[in-house]
Amino acid sequence: MKNQLLRYFDCGHLPEDLQKVSGPFCDLAYALEATLPNGPEKTVALRKLLESKDCAVRAALPAEPKND
């Protein structure tokens, strides 16, 4: 059974520039799903990868304009 966390790695809804950031995380998540045995450590690995992907996508967002 496919891990439910994988749905959060899909990036087709993102703008192209953010897809370039998010895409490698998606690829790695699916590779981990395919190669690692099911268990709590696999779930933790995917969860931490998801956290990392979210941070990377936020880092790639344009800076907010300054309100002086």
Domain count, the chain: 1
**Rounded percentage of the chain residues whose pLDDT exceeds 90:** 85
Token pair for residue 9?
């790695």
**Residue tagged 């087709």 (tokens):** 12
Structural domain harbouring 17: 4-60
Predicted confidence at residue 68, as pLDDT, reads 64
Assess if residue 19 is contained within a domain.
Answer: yes
End-to-end CA distance of the chain: 52
When comparing pLDDT for 50 and 64, which is higher? 50
Give the C-alpha separation, 62 to 25, whole Å. Answer: 20
Assess if residue 42 is contained within a domain.
Answer: yes
Assess if residue 36 is contained within a domain.
Answer: yes
Assess if residue 28 is contained within a domain.
Answer: yes
Q: What is the pLDDT of residues 10-37, one digit of tens each?
A: 999 999 999 999 999 999 999 999 999 9
Assess if residue 54 is contained within a domain.
Answer: yes
Assess if residue 66 is contained within a domain.
Answer: no
Global pTM value? 0.87
Provide the total of helices (H) and of strands (E) in the chain, helices listed first: 2, 0
